[in-house]
Chains A and B, each alone.
Chain A
């Protein structure tokens, strides 16, 4: 019974912490849908993939958002025609290059491992660019979004929602636009909420049930420890502004490489984001994104000297 109450408390805190930020992401997404012309991004985006990735990073820096808010925005941008690698790089990098996250990392590790904030930010950017480029090489244009077999989805509305009471681009007066933004917001928010709930449920159960000590009993094996900390970051689904303080409690108990792996992987992908990604994109694409993130984070954390 106390376990149930603990799970409920942690679950509730994750849900109600994430809600305002998902709401923010969804509203930005609805506003982009309403006000940005369909060919806008095609015109302004650089064709060169490396240059595009840098644009993705800069977008992350100037549209600071946490890992909850960024997914609906990235999905909308990709639907609006920004290149896949730019969208993915933006989605993966922005929780790491967020100034609030950089500051939190700096203060958590400032005294003990001063270089950690540079490794986290720099390597995070590198991984985000690599994943963006590799995924877009491996993916055809028509394999990006979920298949369109599910009833009325995507048929009536280019935005990907399943409303059929609103007519797009029929009337552009201001009130109609507000009305459409609000309806898009409701649809997307409820859609994402379902997946947020599953993610938060898994994360809270794991946090209460799995004893922390199993993380610390691996000191013999460096690569196994890195892997375990990546999985740990993945399942507990912490907010990227908070995870550096949690990571700090492991200093001197595990290798710095494992801590770096934890700090790199957590903001890029976690269980609640994965479920939201599966809702948004073709599942092969999601597997590619997650697989590449895991491989690159592992290799980089293993070989870097801290």
Chain B
């Protein structure tokens, strides 16, 4: 008869494979990982399957396999699976988002800047999408002088920052460089008279004219809002 302490390794590996597949199949993977890490995660699942096959083969083959004494400490193995039941829709609460760092000046993060942003240079109006978000914000926050007076259309959530004047707020997105644990609020400082009507952490689409301002000693873009519309929260709130 198979006892728990003889097949505990198989059970752990199997449950981790299931948990990983659950995250992938429910489309939540990129609420936890930057898409550039996806490939490593898939390889990980593949190798786990290989390990599982070898372990099962081992159990079936050697009847005299020594059983391992499970200790109370081993209960920890079930935590990653248990926590999967509590992740909800995988989005952090406003409070925790507010506890993260804020990046609104010289937002440059990696090699993959410029590129798409150059497409916007000739045009009069700039339309920011999920795909070109990082390129656009790093370009505009670095070279704000080149963009003053241009129209911009951008979406994000409301983040009110204590260091800003009462008619200003940040239209933010969460940027993830590796995983959720290192995600940061990035965004544009916006100027809007009726700032107090806006609800923290709710999502808006904004049309604005680019201006400049100074935040913690550095020049950066300021959006003078011309229109602001409440929208539904997008499927994935992160930009990468």
Q: Which residues of A contact B (CB under 8 A)?
A: 2-17, 19-21, 23, 27, 103-104, 107-108, 110-112, 151-152, 164-165, 179, 182-183, 185-186, 189-190, 193-194, 197-198, 201, 203-204, 207-208, 211-212, 236-239, 241-243, 245-246, 248-253
Contacts and interface: CB of A to CB of B under 8 A. Distances in A.
A255 to B, nearest CB: 14
Given A8-B83, A11-B83, A23-B47, A17 B77 contact: no
Given A4-B86, A186-B9, A246 B40 contact: no
B117 interface: no
Interface in B4-51: 9, 12-13, 16, 20, 23, 31-33, 37, 40-41, 43-44, 47, 50-51
Contact of A253 (B66, B86, B216): B216
A212 B93 contact: no
A189 B95 CA distance: 35
A6 B92 contact: yes
Contact of A246 (B16, B37, B106, B184): B184
Contact of B101 (A13, A165, A189, A246): A246
Tell me what chain A mostly uses at the interface: helix, strand, loop, or mixed.
helix
Nearest to B177: A242
Nearest to B106: A111
B142 interface: yes
Contacts of B77: 190, 193-194, 197
B181 interface: yes
B96 interface: yes
A94 B76 CA distance: 29
Nearest to A164: B66
26 contacts: A3-B93, A5-B93, A6-B92, A6-B96, A8-B87, A9-B32, A12-B180, A13-B180, A17-B32, A107-B109, A108-B108, A108-B109, A165-B62, A182-B51, A183-B54, A186-B51, A190-B9, A190-B13, A197-B76, A212-B100, A237-B181, A241-B177, A242-B178, A243-B182, A245-B182, A248-B103
A14 B58 contact: no
A212 B100 CA distance: 7
Nearest to B83: A8
Contact of B99 (A9, A104, A211): A211
Nearest to B99: A212
A127 to B, nearest CB: 23
A16 B33 contact: yes
B92 A203 contact: no
A20 B44 contact: yes
Given A7-B86, A8-B85, 4 more contacts: A4-B86, A16-B20, A236-B181, A248-B101
B217 interface: yes
Contacts of B111: 103, 107
B229 interface: no
A151 B179 CA distance: 38
Contacts of A5: 86-88, 93
A111 B32 contact: no
Interface string B51-78: 1001100100010011001000110110
Interface string B210-221: 000000111000
Nearest to A162: B68
A182 B111 CA distance: 37
Contacts of A208: 96, 99
A13 B66 contact: no
Given A20-B41, A165-B65, A9 B182 contact: no
Contact of B179 (A7, A13, A179): A13
Contact of A14 (B54, B177, B179): B179
A33 B193 CA distance: 66
B102 interface: yes
A12 B109 contact: no
Given A20-B40, A112-B106, A249-B101, A182 B50 contact: yes
A190 B12 contact: yes
Contact of B178 (A107, A165, A239): A239
